[in-house]
A and B are shown apart, each in its own frame.
Chain A
C-alpha cells in the first residue's frame, strides 16, 4: 500500500536546491501520436484502420496486414500484468534521483503488450488499468494503476505525483481574484490539499463581492497584483515566486464587440494588455523561478502553470473579435511557455471554456459554463496531469468539431 505523503517541513535554506532533471525525451515522430491521448487524459493507441488491430510500440506499418492507414483511437484501458521489476540501478540521472522505478509488462485487453510504469499498489500479478501520461519532459509514457482502486493515499505514489501536479501540500497563486472562477477554484484547491492559496487582486479598493468572499476563506491570502502593471507583477514575484508551486493564470477580461464597433483599437489594447501581456509579465517575473524549482524534491517542487482560456482562442469569433484575438495571443504565448518550462519539468496546462454563466454573457442562450465547473476542471487537470482540458458541453462540442473540421467551426462562429 502506498505510504502516505507527509507534509514537508520548511525548507532548510542552507540546503542546495536540486537542479531540474528531465527523463529521457527522445521519441520518434510517429510515437508523438500518443500525445493526442496523453495530453487529454485519453487512452488512445495506434490503430490499423485496415485490419482493426491496435499497435504498440508505435509503428509505420501494420505487422499483420502491412496497412499504412494508421490512426490513434481510444482503446480499452484494462490489462493483465505479466511480469514486473523494480529498477534499483539505472544510469539515467533523472531516474537515479527518483525512488527506484517499478516497471511492468502488461498484456493489454486491446491486444498489445506494453512496458509500463507501475503504481506501487499493483499486485505482482493481476489486472491493471492503463493510462497514457506525459512525463516531466512532456513526452508520452504508459502508467498502470491497480484495476480496483480505492486504497488509501494512492495519489501519493511518487511516480504518479511526478506524472501529475497534485495540489496536495503545494502553494498556489491565482492571478486574478476578480475572475468568477477564482473563488470556487480557491475552495477546491484547498479541498484537494493545497497548502496555501494566494490570490492576486488589482485595485483592491474597488468593491467586489467575490473578492470579499475569497478573503474570508481560511488558507487564502489576498495580494496586490495588477497584470497590467509590470512593477506590480515583479513586486509580487519578489515575495512569492520562490514559493509558488502552481501558478494559475485566471486573467479574465471579456468584453463583446466586433471589428467595426467604435473604439475597438483602444479596447484591443486593454484586452491584450491583460490577456496576452499579462501572461508575458507573469512569465518574465515568475517563469525562471518556477523552472529552477521544478526538480526541487517531489513534495513541494514547482509543478504546473495553468491558463484559463476561452475556446475562442482557437478560432475567430466576429461577435467578440477582439477578445478572441487576445485569447489567441495568450494561447500562443502559453504554448511557447510550455516549451520553456519543460526544461525545468514544469507543466503548462490549458483549460478551455466556452461562455461562462456570468453577466457578460447574458445575451447568449444556455448551455453556458458555471465558474465552479471551470474550477473543478482545473483541479482535475492538476490531479490527473491533463495538458488540455475542455469544460462543459459547448467546449466539448467545440473540441469535437475542431478535430473534424476547423473550417466548419469558423463558419459556425459567424452565427455568434
Chain B
C-alpha cells in the first residue's frame, strides 16, 4: 500500500471565464490564472515556490519559460502534457512534493488559447502516431476516434444514444446555473437525438466546444493553508495509470480499473460515499466508462446506471455540476482542470449556484491523449471537506 496524502490540501479554485475564440496567447491565459490565484489566496506569486503547467498552445514555451515570463522563482517545476488527465496528475505529483517538503505552495495551472484554426492544427500535430496513422485517414480528429470506441461500446453492452442523451442533457441543465458556461441554452433529449451527425454515432451534442480559458488551484500543506487563513479541501487519494490494458483490441475501459480499489482504500471510503462526481467528459461514452471503472456500477451497466439516476445538481447522483466540458466548453488542457476546480469548490462550499447540498466528498477524474486508437492517460483524485 502506498503512502497516504496526509496533510496535503488544495485551495483557491480559480476559473478564468472562457471565450470561444481569443486573440490572446496561452501565456496570457496562464498569467490571468496566476493572478487569480494570488487574488484568491493573498499569496504573492513571488512567494509561491512551485509551478505546474499544462497547455497545448504554449508554442516553444514550457513551464520553465513561464517562471521568467511571470517573475517566479521556484524549486518545484512541472510541465504536464497530459491533456484531459493533466489536472489530476498535476495535483498528485504536487501533493507528494509539498508532503515531502520539497515545496510549500505549488500553483497548478491549465491554460489554452483558441484561434479559429488552432483546433485543426492541433489535430494535425497531436502526436506522431496520430500524424502518421490517424489524421491521413479522413482527418476526423478526436470525433472519429471516439466514434469508433462509442459504436463498439454500444454494440457490445447495449447502450443507446438515448442513454448518452441523459448525460448530455443533465449536464446542460447544470450548466444553466454556471454563469461561466459557454452553452447557455437548455438542451432537450429531442434536440440531442436530432442533432446532425459529426462522425456517427457521435453527433453534435456529444462533442465539446473548443475554446480559450484557464483553470487553476494551489497545493500546499494544511498548516500553510491555515496560516494564510485559506478555505481548503483535503486530498485523500490520487492515482494515475497510463497505457493500461494494451491487450484490449478496442478500448472499453481506462486505467482507473487497474487502481480503483487502492483509490478507495487510500481515501477510506466506498463509491457510495462520493457526494459529487466530476468525470472527464469529452464524449459521453467516456463518462459511462468512468461510472463503471470507478465501480459506481458494473462494467457494461453504465446505461442502466444513467437510466436509474438523476445526474443533475439536485439529483441523487450529482455529476459534472458546472456543466462539464460538454456544456461549459473545452479550454484545451484547462478542460482537464474544469472538473477538479469545481470539485474543490463543491467540498469547500464555494460553488455558489452549482453547489450540491452536503457535498463533503468529491471525486474528480482525468482522461486524455488519444495517441492512436485509444486514450492513454487516466487519473483520479478524491477530495474531502476539511
A-to-B contact residues, CB < 8 Å? 23-24, 26-28, 31, 56-58, 63, 82-92, 94-95, 101-105, 107, 113-117, 125, 135, 139, 141-142
Closest chain B residue, CB of each to CB of A23: B136
Q: A115 to B200, Cβ gap below 8 A?
A: no
Q: How far is the CB of A11 from chain B (nearest CB, A)?
A: 28
Complex Cα distance A135/B197, Å? 26
A-B contact count (CB 8 A): 125
Q: B134 to A115, Cβ gap below 8 A?
A: yes
Q: How far is the CB of B51 from chain A (nearest CB, A)?
A: 32
Q: B129 to A90, Cβ gap below 8 A?
A: no
* Chain B, 248-296, CB within 8 A of any chain A CB: 249-250
Please encode chain B, from 128 to 171, with 1 for each CB lying within 8 Å of some chain A CB and 0 for all others.
Answer: 11011111111111011001110110010000000000000000
Q: Which residues of A contact B131 (CB under 8 A)?
A: 24, 26-28
Q: How far is the CB of A386 from chain B (nearest CB, A)?
A: 19
Q: Which residues of B contact A86 (CB under 8 A)?
A: 197, 199-200
Q: A141 to B137, Cβ gap below 8 A?
A: yes
Complex Cα distance A119/B61, Å? 43
Q: B132 to A142, Cβ gap below 8 A?
A: no
Q: A57 to B372, Cβ gap below 8 A?
A: yes
Q: A87-B199, A115-B373 are in contact. Are A82 and B138 (CB under 8 A)?
A: no
Q: Which residues of A contact B119 (CB under 8 A)?
A: 91
Q: A57 to B120, Cβ gap below 8 A?
A: no
Q: How far is the CB of A59 from chain B (nearest CB, A)?
A: 9
Most buried by B among A103, A116, A141: A103
Q: A89 to B198, Cβ gap below 8 A?
A: yes
- Of A28, A31, A84, A117, which contacts B148 at CB under 8 A? A84
Q: B373 to A113, Cβ gap below 8 A?
A: yes
Given A95-B139, A105-B250, 19 other A-B contacts at CB below 8 A?
A26-B125, A27-B136, A56-B133, A58-B132, A83-B147, A83-B152, A83-B155, A84-B151, A87-B140, A89-B143, A90-B138, A92-B120, A95-B138, A105-B373, A115-B134, A116-B137, A117-B138, A142-B133, A142-B137
Closest chain A residue, CB of each to CB of B154: A83
Complex Cα distance A27/B123, Å? 14
Q: How far is the CB of B376 from chain A (nearest CB, A)?
A: 13
A-B contact pairs, 15 of them (CB 8 A): A27-B131, A31-B133, A83-B147, A83-B155, A85-B148, A85-B151, A85-B199, A85-B200, A88-B196, A89-B140, A89-B199, A92-B139, A103-B199, A104-B148, A142-B133
Complex Cα distance A170/B279, Å? 54
Q: Which residues of A contact B250 (CB under 8 A)?
A: 82-83, 105, 107, 113
